[in-house]
Each structure stands twice: as structure tokens, then as C-alpha cells.
Structure 1
């Protein structure tokens, strides 16, 4: 019996290995994937990666296997692209083939897993609507969307969608954001106004130590809220606090072991308890909030005078109501709104956190930025985008902050949309691809001493701002971040307004401040800290 107890697990392991090897052999028929470390059954190459700093592990593997190689996350192969040449060749030179979005099960289930609920909500919004719109009169829209239920399994929205859904949603969203001067205020004016509210909130700290995360997040969220549904919240509004907690918790949890395990084995994990359940509930709550705002807009929409993103989307829905295959329906609006809402809030907040942390760590840089602000803008007017061209040093500092912090070390996963010949390899349709952006941002040939924070990386010998193709924090190609322009504007206006009004004082000696991320996986999370905002 004792011998049988030993033989049984050994046989089980052998069977698992045999099934794995046969399946791998079958899947590789006709394929010529790039080389890489030998994967283990079920686990793939997880044991060869530092799960606390996956990007660093991927960079080390590139030293052994070259700029294009394959790793297995569980049973699924992922092609890693290391260095500017490989990333550019894929995302720009062969951008049409690398256009797909890689699988991200927790996000797909967050967006589509509650499809019945979302469809019910969407139908509830339209059930009692009456179309009274004639000419430029105000009225309610009857949105004809018979295809809402049942929902297809195709991902919705902008960030994680593919095919026609992605093309239509991205094209519409870009056009809407670019043309957002149609209302009474432009996007820049909204950001400048929010920057002043931010300053007032910082003054309330009275130079006492404070963690700036919530204040920064609130400012960024209000900018997005004004674009999505022309509304801003007081920083201590209860509904606003609830939303901030939802966004912050999910953004941080995206790096957690629970989410990583869910992404590897979603069919198993969705039936088990764990933190992933909380993630899905919070995502559902954010979608519900967006749909409630949509309902309010439906009741007050003036088609002749759209005021925000939701208005524009609802008008497009009405224009295409006779098209049964239209991508403009309430489910897509809810997911697009959630994508913009979450992405535009937390990424800006973390970039601002890195900004003040790095400026405290390097007081000489902070002093030079203060000097340029005082000389170009002064103290009697608020910063504007017109000032940017006259401030090369500040522009270099902003770029260096984004380069050094590498907020998204390997972009959101891509995928090839067809069997693709890349260099001497054949990558099968649907294979996930990781463009390792950190390997471009830390390229030692383009940025001498890349591990060092140095605004000189973006200045020429004459002190003028220097552009470089290696600046890729927003990725490259057709899948480049849709909010890049907005993010650049926010970062410049919010940070220069803060520095125009305050000096940043750390609670310890500058050299004691740690700037390396505490978590570096999908997102690089900066270490916690407090500081004093000293009025100037």
C-alpha cells in the first residue's frame, strides 16, 4: 500500500507531462515560434520569472534568447519583443498584423461577464423612452438596439476590443476628444480650472505632511468626468469618494497574485472564491455608474448642442438606429466610458505621484523648474499650453519622469490577427505579444546611464528640448494610447500649476527617498510617501 501511495502521484505527473508534450507538439505543427526557455507542464515558464518584477525577468531572458523570444504563461505561448528595433518592426512596420489585443481574462470577464446584467440595465434605460426629437428641439431618444440581448462574447469598448468594434470605438473616441471644442469650454480650459481647484485643496493641508494620492486622483478624475458627462465633484463628495475607492482598488489589484492566477486559469478561477470576485464587483459598479449618467443624458439631450462624450455617443446611436450591426449601443458606451474613466484617472495620478517624488529626490531639478516657471509664466497668471514651447527644461523633466517611471513596462498585451511571418519565425494567429516598452525607455545607447534620473536625456547641447523615437510610454503604432494627447496636457498643466504655487518638501533627506516601484508587473506602482506642500 505504501508503494502504491508513492507510485500514484508519480504516474499522475507522468500523464500530465505526456499530455502537455503531446499537446505542445500538436500545437507547434506548422509553427516556427521564436526560441525561449523550456516550459514546465501547466506552469509554463512561471518558475523562471520573478513574479514581483516580471519586466526585469523578461529583460534578463532577452540577454540569453535575443530580442524576440517565446515564454509560456501557463499553457499559452507569449512572444516577447525586446528593444526598439524589434518593437518598432512589429508595431509600426508590421502594425497591421500585430493589431490585435492579447487575451486578458479578468478584464474580458469584467466587461462581458456581467453581460446579462448590463443588457438588462441598457434595456431598462430605453424601455420607457419616447422620441420627441424634432429639428433642434430637446427631447428623449428611443434607442433601437435589438441586438443587446444576448450579448456576444466579443470584447466591447476601446482598450480590450478587436476588429470592427475596436476600429469604430477608437475612431469615434479620437474624433470626439479632438473636436471637444464644441461646448462652452475646451479641454484645456477644463484642466486649467481643475488645476486651480487642486491648488486650493493643497492649500488646505497648511504645509502639513500629506499623502497626495487621493488629491491627485480626484483632480484627474474630475477632468475625465467633465469630458464624459460635463460634471465635476467636490473632492470630499460621498459619491466621489466611493468612485475613487473603486478605481484605486481595482488599479492596484490588477498586479495582485489573484489576478495573475485568474488570467492563467480563468475557467477554474471564476468558480472559486478570492480577490478576483471583488475586482469584478467593483468593475460592475463602475459600469452601473456610467449607465446611470447615460440615463440622465437621455432625458435631457439636445441633439443640436452636444456637450460631452456621452451626448455625442447618444447622437451617433440615433443616427445608426436602423443598422442592426451598428457598434453604437449602450453596452459599448458603458464599456468605453469605463475605459476612459479608469484609464484617465489612475494613470495620471500615479504619474503625478512619481513626479513629486522624483522632484523631491532631486531638489536641483525642482529648483530649475521653479526658475523656468517664474521666468516664463510668473505668478500672476495660470500656466497654459502656449507656455510649453518656451519651457524646454520643464518639458525635458516631464519626459524624463515618464521615461524613468515606466508606468506600463510592457504595454497592454498585443496579439497577431493572422499567421504572421516575423523575421525568421512564424507566429500563429491569436498569439499574445508583449512589446517590452521598458527595454526601449531604458536603452543605454539612446539614454546614457538609463537607471539614472536625468532630464539631460531630452536636452541637446544648447539646452533645447530633444525629441526621440525611443520615448514610448504610450506605446507605438495603431494601438498607441488613445488618451496620449490628453495625458500630456494634464501632466504639464497640473504639475506646472502645483510648482508655480508650492515647493515640495520631503519628510526625510532627499537622498533617503526611494524611487523604485514597490510593485512592477503590469503597472509600476511607486512607493508610498508623504510630503509637505510649502506655499511659495
Structure 2
């Protein structure tokens, strides 16, 4: 008892500053012991106590900061977000070794708190294991059946282009921001595949959906999402855009559910007209099996993922195309001349024309390259311990492939920071693809 009072009296005699200093030193020491780099792990910048390298991450242009860090720490290095370690891959060789050579060991998606609370590990993008395999296989085969990436989808694309052109002409030559118009056009093609119909550009529900997607993706790319994934318990209690994000995706899922309910009312199992019809058929087919991954909640998340993956990247590419064609009118004129020579003014273009318009094909590829549409690939996660070069990466470590480090690499491109369609043309003026062209993933 005397010992207890002696110790208690010792702390009681401390002033507030001493107690605060002791607390800070204790927290820093505990954080260092718990979160120090594993043995054999890649090097990286010094992490701050508690927060790690979260403020090293430049949210506006993260790929540029990651390229800068690679000059100091090499193409494979580590960062810490809160208590979670991540490995960044820069350059063609490192990304190829990670995502291709070790592809099976890095195929998983990380469990990120915000995405998990929104999607529950369902869908195609942030699912794992057997669920991911089944949903991905079904999505690819079904979309292919309805013409995705094939000539049979051309009439749908050309019809939507007509609507898009009419919408732009409606501004009668006045300045216009094409952002929302392009989003509507691209999303309508996804709507055709998924819902079996398109929306008029003035449809209020459709316009709201487009604005919700824009706002959600903007928040997900912000520091708020990173903070939520790193300090989930604290961020759940704090106000901010991260709280709005949950409501936005809830509203999007409500929109999809309304379409689903309409399909269920009119569903004819013998005549599947779109992705939802086919999915309802799978639900019916496997409903008696335990462990089936086909249900309505998964259907809703798969549709949401198809919109995010299918519309955002295409819309962004088209907006960059508008910009570069306006900035380089001489290149625009050469593209127009080639199209006029090969296709003419009397018919619509076709996929069959692609082989005969190499310069136009090269321009499209160069837009994807220099525009760095997806500067960072979707995050991966190791599903077992992986040997990456001389480094050992433990299981369940976040992997960040920096695609921009390849697309803007002086070793891979003659003039990486200049818009130059010649990057994709050989000496004879024929289209030639560069192996380092990885705009979305390896």
C-alpha cells in the first residue's frame, strides 16, 4: 500500500506540462514499436507518428508526388497511411513484376473502410475471392453477349452520338462546357446495356444521377476519403464530405433499385433484353444453392460498378480529346483529312475503318497516354507473402501501381510531356502500339 501511494504521489506531483510530455513520448514510442517497417520491406520517407505519410500524399496530383519520391527511394518504395502500410510501384518493370508476374498474388482488392461500408464487399470492383470471380465472369460474358466491344453495339453508339451532337448544336455556337453532355452520352450507352433503354438528356432523374456520380467521385479522390480509411472510428464521429458520400451512393443505389423493380414486373425469362434481365435469370437459376453470390444486393452493386468503370473513364477521355483537338488545330486538321479521305461525308464511321485510319488511331492513343486518364490503377492487395525484387511484401499490404510513371517515362517515350501522335506510328506511318501503353492497368 505504501508503494501504491508513493507511485500515486509521484504522478500527482507532476505538473500538467510534464504529464503532457510523458503522454506524447509514450504515444510516439508505442506508434514506432507497433508500426515500424517489417523486415525486408521497401524503404520510404519517414512516417509521422499516428498519421504516417498521409500528408505526403498530394490529393490533386498524387502521381506526380509518387514519381518524385521514386527518384529518392527507387521504383518500389513504401508509405504508411495511419497504421496501414502500402507499397508503391513505379516504372514499367516494377508494375509488370507486381501485376503480371505476381498477378495471382496481388489480384485482391484491399478492404477499405469507406468502400466497405458503401458496398459491403459486393459487386465487381472491390470484391474478392469466389464472389469476385463469379461476378466478373458473368459481367464479361453478359456484356459481350449484348455487343460490348463488338460491331453489334455500333448502332447504339452512333444513335447516341446523334443525340449528343444535337445537344451541342442546340447551343448555337455559343461557348459551352461539354462535361455533363459527354457524361450523359456515355452513360446512356451503359444504360442501354444494363437497363435496356436510354434517357433523354433533360430527364430530371437522369441529370440528378449524373451530378451524383460527379460529386461522389470528387469526394472519393479527396483527402476526406483517405482520412476515413485511415482513421475510421474517429472520422465516423466527425462531420464532413465523407458523410455526404454515403448518402450519395445510397441515392444512386435507390435509382438502380427502381430500375430493378421495374424489370421484375415485366421480366420474361425467355427473352432477356439487358444485363439486369440476365442477372435475374442467374438469381433464379442459383437460388436453391447455398453460397450463391447472385442476389439483388450484388446486382445493384454490380450495376453501380459498371457505371463507374464504364462511363467515367470514357467521359474523361472524350473531354481530354476535346481539349487537345482545340489546343492543336493542326493535328485536328490531319485527323479530319484522314477521316474525310477514308470514310467520307456520306456514311457513319465503323470499327472496320480503324485499320485504315492509323493517324486517328495514334491520336486517340496519345490522348489516353498524355491525359493519364487513370494516373493510379485501382489499388491491389497481396493475398500472401510476395517476393518483389529484393523486397519481401507481407500478406494484406496495399499495392499502389503508379501508371503515370510509365505513361510519362522518358525511357519509354521520345517526348513524354509533349502531345505527339508519332509515339504510336512507325517509320511507314502505320499504327504501332508501345508495350508501355498501360492507360488503365498492366
TM-score, structure 1 as length reference: 0.77
Secondary structure of the corresponding residue to residue 87 of structure 2: strand
Query: Residue 96 of structure 1: SS of its match in structure 2?
Result: helix
Tell me if the contact between 1:99 and 1:416 (Cα under 8 Å) persists in the aligned partners. yes
Number of aligned residue pairs: 429
Structure 1 window deviating more from structure 2 (430-439 vs 57-66): it is: 57-66
Q: 2:258 aligns with which of 292, 306, 319?
A: 292
Contact 1:410 1:436 in 2 (8 A): yes
**Is 1:349 aligned to residue 357 of structure 2?**
no
Unpaired stretches in structure 2, ≥5 consecutive residues = 1-11
Shift in Å, 1:188: 2.2
Query: Partner of 1:259: helix, strand, or coil?
Result: helix
* 1:106 is the counterpart of 2:114: yes
CA spacing shift, 1:450–1:417, aligned 2, 3 Å? same
Q: Are residues 1:19 and 2:30 paired?
A: yes
- What is the aligned counterpart of 1:457 among 423, 427, 430? 423
CA positional deviation for 1:53? 2.3
Give how far 1:73 is off: 1.7
Deviation track 1:194-220 (CA, whole Å, cap 9, x = no partner) reads 111111111111111000001101101
Query: What residue ranges of structure 1 are gaps of 5+ in the alignment?
Result: 113-154, 477-536
RMSD: 1.8
Counterpart residue number, 1:7? 18
Q: Tell me the CA shift for residue 272 of structure 1.
A: 1.8
2: CA distance, partners of 1:337 / 1:346: 14
Structure 2 counterpart of 1:82 = 90
For 2:15 and 2:42, locate their aligned partners in 1 and report how far apart those are by CA, in whole Å.
42
Counterpart position of 1:129 = none
Q: 1:41–1:75: 8 Å Cα contact kept in structure 2?
A: no
Q: CA deviation digits over 1:438-474, x for unaligned, max 9?
A: 1111121221121111111111111111112111112
SS at match of 1:373: helix
Residue number in structure 2 paired with 1:378: 344
Query: 1:115 aligns to what?
Result: none
Deviations 1:79-119 (A, max 9, x none): 1111001101111111100111123322221113xxxxxxx
Looking at secondary structure, tell me which structure has more helix per residue. Answer: 2
Could you tell me which of 393, 410, 416 is aligned with 1:427? 393
Contact kept? 1:187, 1:227, Cα under 8 Å: no
What aligned pairs does 1:185-334 form with structure 2 within 5 A after superposition? 186-334=152-300
The separation in 1 between residues aligned to 2:197 and 2:262, in whole angstroms, is 12
**Where has structure 1 moved over 4 Å in runs of 4 or more?**
none
CA distance in 1, matches of 2:417, 2:361: 20
**Match among 133, 136, 140 for residue 170 of structure 1:** 136
Once the two structures are superposed, the pairs formed by residues 2-81 of structure 1 within 5 Å of their partners are 4-25=15-36, 28=38, 31-81=39-89
Deviates more, 1:294-303 or 1:354-363: 294-303
Determine the C-alpha separation between the residues in 1 that align with 2:231 and 2:85. Answer: 14
Q: TM-score, normalised by structure 2?
A: 0.93
Q: How far did 1:224 drift?
A: 0.6
Which whole-Å CA distance do the structure 1 matches of 2:110 and 2:359 have between them? 38
1:127-166 deviations in Å (ceiling 9; x for gaps): xxxxxxxxxxxxxxxxxxxxxxxxxxxx000011111111
Contact kept in structure 1, 2:47 and 2:79, CA below 8 Å: yes
Quick check: 1:192–1:384 contact (8 Å CA) kept in 2?
Answer: no
